[in-house]
Structure 1
Amino acid sequence: MIRLARHPEPILKPLPHHPWESRYVFNAGVVYHNGLVHMLYRAMGEDMISRLGYAISSDGLNFYRLDQPVLIPAAPWEARGVEDPRITWLEGKFYVIYTAYSGSEVRVSMASTTNFITWTRHGILLPDEDNKDAALFPEKIKGRYAMLHRRPPDIWLAYSDDLIHWTDHQVIMRPRPGTWESWKIGAGAQPIRTEWGWLLFYHGVDDHRVYRLGIALLDLEDPARVIRRQEAPILAPEASWEREGQVPNVVFTCGAVEINGTYYVYYGGADSVIGVATVQKEDVERFCRGR
């Protein structure tokens, strides 16, 4: 059974002298590229508007972050925040799927960049519906782009020919009644390719609104087919900074990477700080092989 080992302390905390991230930092998306971990994280200051900060690390634990946010609200549908980024390296660009919050509606939106400083915005991907927890697959599947998203309470899969218009929506995972994921589930980190299937770190919420993390494996050629899904959670809120904060009893991931035989899963603790938990690649491989 897979269990993540948490780093004993948060790796990013709010910075009081940065007004835009003085209250909370959480829900970080990550990508490992050219030997560095690139992180986008959700930050909130005194105005309680979400912006995205950028941090970089050579070891996955110690991060240098910029003084200013790199992505801020720029349209009416995101007036109250750009939230929960998931990063995918695809066809020479970093594509970031994020939640746009207008104050009353949440929409799946996308931006792209090559350097995390200058951005191209692609707008809302799934119009006219509240939706979030969306993540792009890092390659085409049978000639089409693929994306996970969440129509409550389930995880859905959709396909596209141009990354903008999405069709063929289908449910691939549902909550399991009477368990740690009984209320709703959602994609966490961007799907990670392994030789056995797409590795998915996801979140589940129980009837008491406790957020935990789970793990599943999707078929490489048909990710609508769930090959394996662990019954027990891989991480639960146990540390004080996961149990107490803006939203108590929450561990919530938006990104994971594999570095030198170790998977690093980055997550928000109680919607207040950023933590990381790890698992060895050989343990994940045993899960993938069903051993």
Structure 2
Amino acid sequence: MLRLARHPEPILKPLPHHPWESRYVFNAGVVYHNGLVHMLYRAMGEDMSSRLGYAVSPDGLTFYRLDRPVLSPTSPWESRGVEDPRITFLEGRFYVVYTAYSGSNVRVSMVSTMNFITWTHHGILLPDEDNKDAALFPERINGRYAMLHRRPPDIWLAYSEDLIRWTDHQVIMRPRPGTWESWKIGAGAPPIKTEWGWLLFYHGVDHHKVYRLGVALLDLEDPTRVIRRQEAPILSPEAPWEREGQVPNVVFTCGAVEIDGTYYVYYGGADTVIGVATVPKEEVERFCRGR
């Protein structure tokens, strides 16, 4: 059974002297590129509006962050915040899919960048519906782009020719009654390609509103086909900083990377701090092979 081992302390905490991130930092998207882990994280300050901060790490554990947000609300769709970024390096560019929150509407939005400082805005991807937990696949599948998203309570998949208009929406995973993921589920980190399939770290919520992390494997050529899905969670809120905070009993991931034979899964603890949990690559491969 696959299990993550948590780092003993949060790797990023709020900074009281930064008004925009003085209360909470959580739900970080990450990408490993040119020997560095690049992180975008959700930050909240005294005004309780979400912005995205940027941090970088040479080892996946020690992060150095900018003293200002790199992405703040710019449209009415996101007047209350930009939330939960998920980063995908796709065709030579970093695409960031995030949740735009207006206070009354929740939408999937996207920007792209080459440097995490200057941005190209691509707008709302699914304009006619409340939606979130979206994540792009890192390459085209059978000539088309693919994206996971969440129409409650399920994980869905859609395809696109241009990254803007999305069609062929299909449910790929549903909650499992009577389990740790009985109420709703959603994509976590963008899918990671392995020789056995697309590795998906996702979150599940039970009817007590406890958030845990799970793992599944999707077919490389047809990701609507779930090859394998572990019954037990891979991480549950157990540390004090995962059980107590803005929203208690939450571990929630938006990003994972593989570095030198180890998978690093970054997550928000109780919507207050950022933690990381790891698992050796060989254990992930055993899960992928069904052993």
* Alignment TM-score > 0.5, same fold: yes
The 5 A counterparts of 1:33-112 are 33-112=33-112
- Please tell me whether residue 265 in structure 1 is matched to residue 265 in structure 2: yes
**How far, CA to CA, are the matches of 2:59 and 2:41 in structure 1?**
17
Aligned to 1:123: 123
Deviations, residues 222-251 of structure 1 (Å, cap 9, x unaligned) = 000000000000000000000000000000
Amino acid paired to 1:111 = V
Aligned to 2:210: 210
**How far, CA to CA, are the matches of 1:55 and 1:198 in structure 2?**
27
Aligned to 1:254: 254
**How far, CA to CA, are the matches of 1:190 and 1:224 in structure 2?**
15
Deviations, residues 82-101 of structure 1 (Å, cap 9, x unaligned) = 00000000011000000000
**How far, CA to CA, are the matches of 2:3 and 2:89 in structure 1?**
27
The 5 A counterparts of 1:155-194 are 155-194=155-194
The 5 A counterparts of 1:10-29 are 10-29=10-29
Query: Displacement of 1:118 after TM fit?
Result: 0.2
Root-mean-square deviation (CA), in Å? 0.2
The 5 A counterparts of 1:264-283 are 264-283=264-283
**How far, CA to CA, are the matches of 1:219 and 1:158 in structure 2?**
15
**How far, CA to CA, are the matches of 2:201 and 2:141 in structure 1?**
19
Unaligned 5+ runs, structure 2: none
**How far, CA to CA, are the matches of 2:93 and 2:290 in structure 1?**
34
Indicate the percent of aligned positions where both proteins have the same amino acid.
89
Amino acid paired to 1:227 = I
**How far, CA to CA, are the matches of 2:174 and 2:280 in structure 1?**
27
Aligned to 2:154: 154
**How far, CA to CA, are the matches of 2:106 and 2:22 in structure 1?**
24
**How far, CA to CA, are the matches of 2:14 and 2:61 in structure 1?**
16
**How far, CA to CA, are the matches of 2:247 and 2:157 in structure 1?**
28
Unaligned 5+ runs, structure 1: none
- After the TM superposition, list the runs of 4 or more consecutive aligned residues in structure 1 that deviate by more than 4 angstroms: none
**How far, CA to CA, are the matches of 1:197 and 1:128 in structure 2?**
32
- Please tell me whether residue 234 in structure 1 is matched to residue 266 in structure 2: no
Classify the secondary structure of the residue corresponding to 1:77.
Answer: helix
Give the alignment's TM-score, normalised by structure 2.
1.00
Give the alignment's TM-score, normalised by structure 1.
1.00
Deviations, residues 129-171 of structure 1 (Å, cap 9, x unaligned) = 1100000000000000000000000000000000000000000
Classify the secondary structure of the residue corresponding to 2:14.
Answer: coil
Query: Displacement of 1:177 after TM fit?
Result: 0.1
Query: Displacement of 1:128 after TM fit?
Result: 1.4
Deviations, residues 51-73 of structure 1 (Å, cap 9, x unaligned) = 00000000000000000000000
Amino acid paired to 1:68 = R
Aligned to 2:137: 137
Amino acid paired to 2:99 = T
**How far, CA to CA, are the matches of 1:74 and 1:127 in structure 2?**
16
Aligned to 1:243: 243
Aligned to 2:219: 219
Query: Displacement of 1:272 after TM fit?
Result: 0.1
